[in-house]
Amino acid sequence: MGTPLLLSIQIGAPRIFGISDAADPMDRPWTTGYFKEPVAGPVQLTRTGLVGDGQADLVNHGGPDKAMLAYAAAHYQAWRDELNQSQMPHGSFGENFTIAGLTEADVYIGDVYAIGDVKVQVSQPRQPCWKTARRWRLKELPKRVIETGRSGWYFRVLAEGIVERGMSVELIERPCPSWSVARANEVFYRGQEDRDATAELAALPLLSLAWREHLLNRL
């Protein structure tokens, strides 16, 4: 297996879409930063994300633990086939980084990756929300994301710098080798009865604060 690559970078500021008083709720006004456009050249990555990027819902999105959303390039062909969507470019799941050579099974909570001089750390899986359904006008899509495990994951930024598509994504540290993003998803969504696994995941200091609080509340 070769070195994973940053296949594409996407950014987008929040915008308003929709038509007032539309009959179909899917057509009514909503504000979102989900629609992101590819960046061809270098872009600055800060502790809070890419310069020029933004989120509409700052309660559930953004912040240091969710500075960057990453998604596996390998998932796209399956989604195009399953959803009958031939026009589904990178960035279609609202991600900032589309990465070749990594999936949820390969990425672990707390993993530190170097992208040039930048260093990022995996903080939690991505939880699909209603905006995923709204973007593709498919009410069942968030549920399908959970069922397939094709969630994507968030990075926190440990070292700021410049990133550009085509750069390598090099693993430099793996402090939690028992907790892949795939396993964290499994415990979070289907492991309610496994209190030991839930407690173990909740105790990971490198897991995002939001996920740790949720799991502790469950316990």
- Which tens digits make up the pLDDT trace of 128-158? 988 888 888 889 999 999 999 999 999 999 9
Q: Residue 148: inside a domain, yes or no?
A: yes
Q: Residue 198: inside a domain, yes or no?
A: no
Q: Residue 77: inside a domain, yes or no?
A: yes
Q: Residue 212: inside a domain, yes or no?
A: no
Q: Residue 192: inside a domain, yes or no?
A: no
Which domain, by its residues, includes 61? Answer: 5-176
Predicted local confidence at residue 37, as pLDDT: 92
Rg of the Cα atoms in the chain: 17
Kindly report the pTM of this predicted structure: 0.93
pLDDT band at 59 (very low <50, low <70, confident <90, very high): low
Backbone angles phi, psi at 65, to 5 degrees: -75, -15
Q: Residue 70: inside a domain, yes or no?
A: yes
Q: Residue 110: inside a domain, yes or no?
A: yes
Q: How confident is the model over 168-202, as pLDDT tens digits?
A: 999 999 999 999 999 999 999 987 789 999 999 99
C-alpha separations of 96 from 21, 30, 69, 164, 196 in Å: 32, 21, 5, 12, 34
Q: Residue 203: inside a domain, yes or no?
A: no
Report the CATH number that the domain containing residue 122 is assigned in CATH.
Answer: 2.40.33.20
Q: What's the domain count of the chain?
A: 1
Q: What residue has token string 């795939």? A: 182
